[in-house]
Amino acid sequence: MAYDRLDRDLAGALVAIEARQIERSHELLVHAQDLTHELLCMLDLDAWEHAAQLASIYQYVIDLLTTANVRKSAKEIKEARTLLAGLGDAFRQAAVSAAAPATSAAPAPRVSAALAAPVMRPAPAFAGADAAPRQFSARA
Q: Where are the domains of the chain?
A: 2-98+110-116
Whether this prediction's pTM lies above 0.75 is answered by: no
Contact 29, 65 (CB under 8 A): yes
Average pLDDT, 10 consecutive residues per value, the chain (140 residues): 96 98 98 98 93 96 98 97 95 89 57 50 44 46
Altogether, the residues listed in the chain come to a count of: 140
Distance CA 84, CA 124 (A): 20
Superfamily of domain 2-98+110-116: Flagellar protein FliS (1.20.120.340)
Distance CA 6, CA 34 (A): 10
